[in-house]
Structures are given as structure tokens and as C-alpha cells.
Copies of this chain bind each other. A is one copy, B any other.
Amino acid sequence: MSSRWTVQLATPDDADEIADLLHDFNTEFSTPSPGAAVLAPRLRRLLAGDLTVALVAGRPAVGLALLTLRPNVWYEGMVALLDELYVVPRLRSQGIGSAIIEALLALAPERGLDLIEINVDEGDVDAQRFYERHGFANTETPESTERAFYYWRELTG
């Protein structure tokens, strides 16, 4: 798929811009955010390391994917969790999300990724269809009905 939105790998210098997008994203969905002033220096540190990858669409950025990498015993390479995928409201449904996912899949070999994971809200059927179109699944086989729920426990506060 072609896109007039160029997708680029972010550097630590993009931390401020990405922090603003992440804060806007959480604000839009009424999810707590520590604020861009907390996120920006953290992102600057994370993007300087090997375990955090951000892809941005457009300059200034109008779309963002944020991934974190970890090892896994079942794979020789790394596993990446797509923590966030965000497109600014005024530019949705124009293929920017797809362009970002395609850039991610193109980047995967050089980053040694063997698996990409995403947690998708049960009620967000549009997002589920989007990821399924891009080759993601929530069952071992197309015939299987056994999905998995994401559970967590916070240890802060």
C-alpha cells in the first residue's frame, strides 16, 4: 500500500513530539497520563536504548507506533509488544495506521523480531479487524476459538 505519509524510525530527539502525541492519545480515551513533561525525558532515555522502538508518520508526526522488545525462550530473536498505535483524529481512516504497520513489518528483520504482540480491547472490533487484516490473530489456528485475555497487576502506588 502506498501512502503519502512517510514513516520514519524515531530518535531520542523526537521524544518531545512523541510525548505530546502519547499524552493526547490518553487524554482522548480518558486514560490517566503522567503528562508530556514526565513522558518526554523517559522517552528520550528509552529511545536511546535497544529495547524501545518508535515509528512516526509525517513531519510533524501525525501518527505513532511505540514498541518495546524483550527476549523469549520460544524464539531465537526478540518479541515486540506494540504498546501504542495512534493517529491524530483529523487524519484517521486514510491509511496512516496501515503505513505504520507495514513500516514495522519491514523493519522487523533488521531488529531481529520473531513475534509482534498487541493487546486489543474486547469491544474494539474495528481495531481487531485492522490487525487481522495485517496478519495478526488471536487464536492458534483459524479454526480455534481459544483466545487469551490480557491480565495484569500494577505494583506501583
Contacts and interface: CB of A to CB of B under 8 A. Distances in A.
Interface of A: 22, 34, 39, 42-43, 46, 49, 51-52, 66, 68-77, 79, 81, 83-84, 105, 108-109, 113-123, 128, 131, 134-138, 146-156
Contact of A152 (B84, B115, B151): B115
A75 B39 CA distance: 9
B117 A146 contact: no
A69 B34 CA distance: 22
Given A42-B76, A128-B151, 8 more contacts: A22-B73, A49-B71, A51-B70, A52-B73, A68-B71, A74-B83, A105-B155, A115-B153
Contacts of A79: 68
18 contacts: A42-B73, A42-B76, A68-B70, A68-B79, A69-B70, A70-B81, A115-B156, A117-B152, A118-B150, A119-B151, A121-B146, A128-B151, A131-B151, A134-B153, A137-B151, A138-B149, A138-B152, A150-B150
A152 B128 contact: no
A113 to B, nearest CB: 6
